[in-house]
Structure 1
Amino acid sequence: MRQDTHHEDAHGNGRESAAPLGLVLMVQGTSSHAGKTTVVAALCRWFANAGYRVAPYKAQNMSNNAAVTADGREVGRAQAMQAVAARVPVTVDMNPVLLKPQSDRTSQVVVLGEPWITADAVDYYGRKQHLWPIVTDALDRLRAAFDVVVIEGAGSPAEINLAQYDIVNMRVARHANAPVLLVGDIERGGVFASLYGTHALLQPEERALIKAFVINKFRGDPSLLDPGFAMLEERTGVPTIGVLPWLDLRDIPEEDALEWRSATDHGNPDAPPAVLDIAVMRLPRVANLDEFQPLINEPGVRVRFVGDADSFGAPDLVIVPGTKSTLGDLAWLRERSLDACILAHRAEGGAVLGICGGLQMLGERIVDEHGVEQVGEAEGLGLLPLVTHFEARKITRRVKAQVIGAQTLFGADLRAAAPFDAYEIHMGRSTSTERGQAPLFALESAQGRSHDGSCSSDGLVVGTYLHGALEHAPLRRAMLTQLAARKGVELPASGAATSVDDALDRLATVVCSNLDMDAVFDMMGLRGTTT
């Protein structure tokens, strides 16, 4: 099932691989959010279930949603989810370049899981040639180790103003000689124009790699699209091999920050009424917001993403999430008077949770001596007895966490609870200004044992560096049950939880039953059953 392939070197010159490599399939889109990530995940799970050793790959991702590999390096959360779909551990080769926006103009550039530089667009584009052999070597290593690699593009391959800087779309397809599925989002309208226009703007050798079109997010009778498919194939020579229905993806981690929405947006008329109201601060540089997805899915819980004082309301819990720019987003809270809202909520006996950058904001002071974000310091919200010092070295690690603090989660004593998996990604260290304050969690990682967490004396303000705690159902339910008890209401039963693994199986079934998988096999050069 392996093949020799033609490659390009750093200057675009052709070279032949020294050894057979795994087969490839690439998924590109006519725009961002066309559904590339979802289709790649579905294909990874389908190939894995069919017995192939499969891996996902995306040369460059831009997201503040990150995951940590087993060896303590950083990748896009989307590739971590796709690795779960492929039933393999995530590695940095699956996402060798990760851009983490820090402002409207700059991003931290993470290369092979480690911070490299902070750059604006012009500076970054000038460094693309340095990155090209890094991304191709990562892809080649995956192909040497797996039967199939499913490659994801980014944005659109037809951004003709940026084509000379491409290291993620058609240049990758040419490097791997990969057949390309081009996905269009019909929900946005103009799907035939976007598919045709994308095809038309590509170079002839790039158009030759587009083997099929796929329509995504369709609601209705697919036969209504047949005349459009015929006309599109007549003009491009490319067939449409699938119409994917609109899917409810609430049980699968999102690629980027969740589209700001509440549980009511799922449109389930049978959902119980909300008895708890949770306000998550809508920080401009929010990070790892997908960890709140399990909260959104909880019956009886309303999650609101709040961006101004007028919409703050009277929540039962305020969450200050993680951020890629703690000082900038703390200033943003103050500009919007949300700091005053949080302090008033706390003064009235309200519960507050800070995660990662949110933990730092809840402390007394943040000091940036090394210019990690900006040289200087800022007063925090003063709700936790902590001082944070930014350090040049980023802490990224996966941990096994055990609750040890009796006041954890707003009064719910979970010291007898089972350990849970979590991860850390942060650039600062926070120390207590209060002698003898007990931590909330005991941690075990590849780096050894440590502690995490802080809470107020009454247990109503909780802060942690841990990402993923809310994805642990016993902790999440205990927290919500305790909040409901404080309010004097009863939380509805959660019912049978849907695991991410089950959700990925269902996704693969729906997507691949609506794709012509025989055609996919043919374009890849695979032979065998598609059942």
Structure 2
Amino acid sequence: MRRSIIMLQGTASDVGKSVITTALCRIFTQDGWNTAPFKSQNMANNSYVTPDGREIGRAQGVQAEACGKCATTDMNPILIKPVRDMHSQIVVHGQPYAQMSAWDYRQDFLPQARPLVMEALNRLRDQHDMVVMEGAGSPAEINLKDRDIVNMNLAGWADAPVLLVADIDRGGVFAAIVGTLELLESHERERVKGFIINKFRGDLALLQPGLDWLQQRTGIPVIGVLPYEENLHLEAEDSVALQRKSSIPLPDRELDIVIIHYPRISNFTDFDLLEAEPDVSVRYVDHPDQLGTPDVIILPGTKDTLGDLEFLQNRGLASCIKKQHTRHSVQLVGICGGYQMLGRHLHDPAGHDSPSPRMAKGLGLLPVSTVFASAKTTVQAEGHLNTESPWFQQMKTLEPPLSVKGYEIHMGTTTVESRADVQPLFHLHRLSGKKGNPATIEDGCILSDGSAWGTYLHGVFDNNQLRRSWLNFLRQRKGLEPLIQSIHGQTRREEAFDRLADTVRKHLDMKRIYEIASGQ
């Protein structure tokens, strides 16, 4: 039996499709429907590792969590990870397929993509009562429509009704909706069953005449108007979210943590829970003048390690970061690609991380070197903090083991060249290791004085006790009293899902949405 399905498309990028899809996933699940998300093609460097060690877009991973499900690659069979301008790594069912230019992807890959996409979607539909599909960008990108696999062509293949989402906060919402419809073919317009206006800040009574005009003009109802919501506490997928982050320290916060915002930053959701801590100011900076003298500088993950290392060097950030470390005792932290950059050498003998074979010098602050290869490590892992590390040793209140879990996504292998002044950071067991990946490893390293450390483990700060112990370690260095752990990541996430669902229930006509999803 073919089950219910509904698709959300948008008048543009960043109008709120992912968030509303997440809300509907939660609502349908709360109402007893066996629900799954689906996005055929996603472009994002913020990715998510499934339990079987595959890589998908982070939004679909979060949406699966909203459904109370483990994510699978059927929920996002094609992931595009931008590497350089006009070139991306194409990930198919969670594994690297090829690096392709935008032209080659469109000309050579997309014509073959329909069976791949529909097989994944049909498996989900066979296994679930409801599938909530998410489009990408706008369905009215007329230069791309003939080979579209993520908007109206997909809606037609799946025979799915469409809700069109528009962002009123950016202005011109009626023009955006009507203009989008005008650029659709008649059979595509027939699929649009309702409008959702998102991010509204004003008086609904003042907006109502426009809503009435819109329905009269198009014959399509407005399903609801969602208010502008800040602090949703949901992970962002697109780096456009970083444009709203400040480079200025928050007043009255005792710890100042700087994240380096290089061009190909990835998995910046690693730091969401740091931002939630009451004593922490988290800033994103991309210029030496913005650094100040923080307590910590973090080099995050990147999809282009060598390219972003070159950015640090050309921008003058590399030298400033080293000066902050040596002259002002600023602690340095590297996550994944940032860990590689903190090392001495990075070698790409076959051009896996760069357009051609290349060797580069890192910042030289950790005694490690990295070699890039074609094999990609994508695993979930768990373990504990090394009890011999200075982080553990200097926090006398800690009792072993201090557990940690997260995930790895990287194409390099990093080797410690000298163990004279360093300790391994974590002892990890890889839960989803593929053939050739050791199940148990020592991960990362930390200097003997605790002033710099690096790890391949994404999500390290999502571990509640470990995050607070590290922050208290920083507080101790400043002569401050430790704080009691107060932020619980999983509880916070579940509360965010429920709060979002409550808001959407209140402002959307859910009875009509159920009717649309069931084909009425």
TM-score when normalising by structure 1:
0.91
| Counterpart-to-counterpart distance in 2, 1:256 and 1:478 | 30
Deviation of residue 112 (structure 1)? 0.6
| Counterpart-to-counterpart distance in 2, 1:462 and 1:204 | 58
Identify the match of residue 511 of structure 1 among 504, 507, 512: 504
Alpha-carbon distance change, 356 to 405 in structure 1, aligned in 2, over 3 angstroms: farther
Whether the aligned pair in 2 keeps the contact of 1:280 and 1:319 (CA below 8 Å) is yes
Identify the match of residue 225 of structure 2 among 243, 246, 255: 243
Query: 1:359-401: CA deviations, max 9, x gaps?
Result: 0000110010121023111011111110100010000000112
Whether the aligned pair in 1 keeps the contact of 2:200 and 2:225 (CA below 8 Å) is yes
**Partner SS for 1:51:** coil
Say which is worse superposed, 422-431 or 372-381, in terms of deviation.
372-381
Deviation of residue 434 (structure 1)? 0.9
**Partner SS for 1:238:** coil
Cross-structure match for 2:404: 420
Cross-structure match for 1:82: 63
Query: 1:31-82: CA deviations, max 9, x gaps?
Result: 1010000000000000111111000000011100011111111001110000
Identify the match of residue 151 of structure 2 among 165, 169, 177: 169
Aligned ranges for residues 59-458 of structure 1 at < 5 Å? 59-126=40-107, 127-257=109-239, 258-262=241-245, 273-348=252-327, 349-374=329-354, 375-407=357-389, 409=391, 411-412=394-395, 416-435=400-419, 437-444=422-429, 445-447=431-433, 448-458=439-449
**Partner SS for 2:281:** strand
Cross-structure match for 1:14: none
Q: Which amino acid aligns with 1:327?
A: L
Structure 1: runs of 5 or more not aligned = 1-19
Whether the aligned pair in 1 keeps the contact of 2:472 and 2:483 (CA below 8 Å) is no
Identify the match of residue 487 of structure 1 among 460, 473, 478: 478
Q: Which amino acid aligns with 1:183?
A: V
Aligned ranges for residues 3-14 of structure 1 at < 5 Å? none
**Partner SS for 2:423:** coil
Structure 2: runs of 5 or more not aligned = 434-438
| Counterpart-to-counterpart distance in 2, 1:341 and 1:489 | 27
Q: Which amino acid aligns with 1:355?
A: I
TM-score when normalising by structure 2:
0.93
| Counterpart-to-counterpart distance in 2, 1:418 and 1:138 | 39
Whether the aligned pair in 1 keeps the contact of 2:5 and 2:131 (CA below 8 Å) is yes
The size of the alignment, in residue pairs, is: 504
Q: Which amino acid aligns with 1:259?
A: L
Cross-structure match for 1:4: none
| Counterpart-to-counterpart distance in 2, 1:224 and 1:500 | 34
Alpha-carbon distance change, 328 to 263 in structure 1, aligned in 2, over 3 angstroms: closer
Aligned ranges for residues 6-25 of structure 1 at < 5 Å? 20-25=1-6
Whether the aligned pair in 2 keeps the contact of 1:262 and 1:296 (CA below 8 Å) is no
| Counterpart-to-counterpart distance in 2, 1:415 and 1:368 | 41
Cross-structure match for 1:11: none
| Counterpart-to-counterpart distance in 2, 1:402 and 1:417 | 6
Whether the aligned pair in 2 keeps the contact of 1:366 and 1:377 (CA below 8 Å) is yes
**Partner SS for 1:474:** helix
Whether the aligned pair in 1 keeps the contact of 2:389 and 2:423 (CA below 8 Å) is no
**Partner SS for 1:259:** helix
Whether the aligned pair in 2 keeps the contact of 1:184 and 1:194 (CA below 8 Å) is yes
Q: Which amino acid aligns with 1:274?
A: R
Alpha-carbon distance change, 526 to 489 in structure 1, aligned in 2, over 3 angstroms: farther
Query: 1:230-287: CA deviations, max 9, x gaps?
Result: 1111111100010101112442111223424457999xxxx97111111111110001
Q: Which amino acid aligns with 1:509?
A: D
**Partner SS for 2:400:** coil
| Counterpart-to-counterpart distance in 2, 1:449 and 1:152 | 37
Whether the aligned pair in 2 keeps the contact of 1:280 and 1:320 (CA below 8 Å) is yes
| Counterpart-to-counterpart distance in 2, 1:443 and 1:333 | 30
Percent of matched pairs sharing the same residue: 45
| Counterpart-to-counterpart distance in 1, 2:349 and 2:508 | 54
**Partner SS for 1:360:** helix
The root-mean-square deviation of aligned C-alpha atoms, in Å, is 2.0
Q: Which amino acid aligns with 1:477?
A: R
Cross-structure match for 2:14: 33
Q: Which amino acid aligns with 2:94?
A: G
**Partner SS for 2:338:** helix
| Counterpart-to-counterpart distance in 2, 1:405 and 1:453 | 14
| Counterpart-to-counterpart distance in 2, 1:494 and 1:419 | 15
Q: Which amino acid aligns with 1:33?
A: D
Cross-structure match for 1:7: none
| Counterpart-to-counterpart distance in 2, 1:368 and 1:443 | 26
Q: Which amino acid aligns with 2:418?
A: E
